[in-house]
Amino acid sequence: MNADYDVVIIGGGMVGNTLACALGGSDLKVAIIEARPAEIEWPPESIGMRVSAITAASQQIFTALGAWDAMSAMRISPFREMRVWDAEGNGAVHFDSAEIGQDKLGHIIENRVIQAALTQRVTAFDNVELRCPEQLEDLDTSGALAQLQLKEGGTISARLVVGADGANSRVRQHAGIETDGWPYHQSGVVTTIHTELPHQETAWQRFMPNGPLAFLPLNNGGCSIVWSTTPEHADELLALSDEEFLIALSHASEHRLGNVIEVGQRGAFPLNRQHANTYIGNHLALIGDAAHTIHPLAGQGVNLGLLDAAALAEVLLDAHAKGKAIGATHILRRYERWRKGDNLIMMTAMDGFKKLFGSEALSLKWLRNEGLSITDKLPVLKNQIMLHAMGYKGDLPALARYAAA
């Protein structure tokens, strides 16, 4: 039976675009349906409010897909070290990439930079069609082909629909896939700042009872911050004047980088843990935030999604090369088996950290401070943690594998 497309990806965010690039150049006919056009131009000195800590494994994916150079040309900010400490005690850990023979632990990149580079790359492939602005309205996957009702473009059919449409995925809802999860009862307040002292290409994270505060170094000398706190406190932080916010942030960071002296536009995002019970259905797969959302404290969310995209592309291209049906459940199950366990491990680890560092119980305060101090003195353990943070752990898809071990 002929379909309009082999693969239709709903959502051209960072993860959906990565999948499209990974399928680019193949003989699969691919469409991306994206509601909002990507930002492609902005004043050079302005910094986007949303940034992501991108692991070395994700950098490898972007490089393999031919998008990394465009990101570098726009702006990427490497960080070499990471300092983590507990607000309530003396526990602290210092991670230094030099200790594992690397020159950096990762990069801080504005989401709009990633989006712009991937969108540019996607539009260069003859077999990929970007339909934007366009929206999925309805979906029927019960027949031999998936039927998609679009807001503007009528009905189209596909052999496979991929939900890359974020945490409130319409694809997931249409397919009736349930999620497990809970709200963290925290919001992440984000903005960009400048401080009196240089950031030393170091990511700084202070764990406080209400949530962690992270300073992520940018190559303009400033930092992007994520301040996870209670929703009520987040509202208060948003309502402060710039001067009041600078004082509150300087205090919350214990003046590690001196006073905070400049702040940009502020925003807040609710933080939820959510995991789809299954990543696949009849002619259907979920990737990225559509499948899982995770606390941003270790900056892993989009990195997990990029691994989903790379793994799914590998499974699909392999099946297609062998003449197998790409939308068949037994093919898609390979993708689910590959990614769901790894994602769950990372989500569970983040939940553990969040609980441990959010606890006021004396025994847990002691444990975490001792744990941080002991970790700091154990190079073997620290090296393993750094390799995890760089994304060099687990069963990596070929696109994410690096040349030297």
Site residues, ligand FAD (CB under 6 A)? 10-16, 33-36, 52-53, 135-136, 164-166, 170, 188, 190, 226, 269, 288-289, 296, 299-303, 305
Alpha-carbon distances, residue 110 vs 216, 250, 282, 383, 393 (angstroms): 11, 23, 35, 27, 24
Cβ atoms 199, 77 nearer than 8 A: no
Q: What's the min distance (Å) between Cβ of 166 and ligand FAD? A: 3
Q: What's the min distance (Å) between Cβ of 301 and ligand FAD? A: 3
Alpha-carbon distances, residue 21 vs 32, 76, 115, 333 (angstroms): 11, 20, 12, 22
Q: CB neighbours (10 Å) of residue 142?
A: 9
* Beta strands 30-33 and 128-131, pairing class: parallel
Q: Taking the mean position of all CA atoms in its chain, how far away is CA 62?
A: 13
Q: What's the min distance (Å) between Cβ of 373 and ligand FAD? A: 26
If the CB atoms of residues 249 and 365 are measured against ligand FAD, the closer one turns out to be 249
Q: What's the min distance (Å) between Cβ of 37 and ligand FAD? A: 10
Q: What's the min distance (Å) between Cβ of 276 and ligand FAD? A: 12
How many whole angstroms separate alpha carbon 308 and alpha carbon 136?
A: 21
If the CB atoms of residues 194 and 273 are measured against ligand FAD, the closer one turns out to be 273
Q: What's the min distance (Å) between Cβ of 208 and ligand FAD? A: 16
If the CB atoms of residues 166 and 212 are measured against ligand FAD, the closer one turns out to be 166
If the CB atoms of residues 74 and 367 are measured against ligand FAD, the closer one turns out to be 74
Q: What's the min distance (Å) between Cβ of 241 and ligand FAD? A: 22
* Cis before 379? omega within 30: no
If the CB atoms of residues 157 and 320 are measured against ligand FAD, the closer one turns out to be 157
How many whole angstroms separate alpha carbon 160 and alpha carbon 29?
A: 11
Cβ atoms 108, 82 nearer than 8 A: no
* Beta strands 30-33 and 5-10, pairing class: parallel
How many whole angstroms separate alpha carbon 286 and alpha carbon 363?
A: 40
Helix axes 379-389, 362-376, angle to 10 degrees: 100
Q: CB neighbours (10 Å) of residue 57?
A: 24
If the CB atoms of residues 151 and 355 are measured against ligand FAD, the closer one turns out to be 151
If the CB atoms of residues 28 and 346 are measured against ligand FAD, the closer one turns out to be 346
Alpha helix segments (H runs only) across 123-230 = 170-174
Q: What's the min distance (Å) between Cβ of 249 and ligand FAD? A: 15
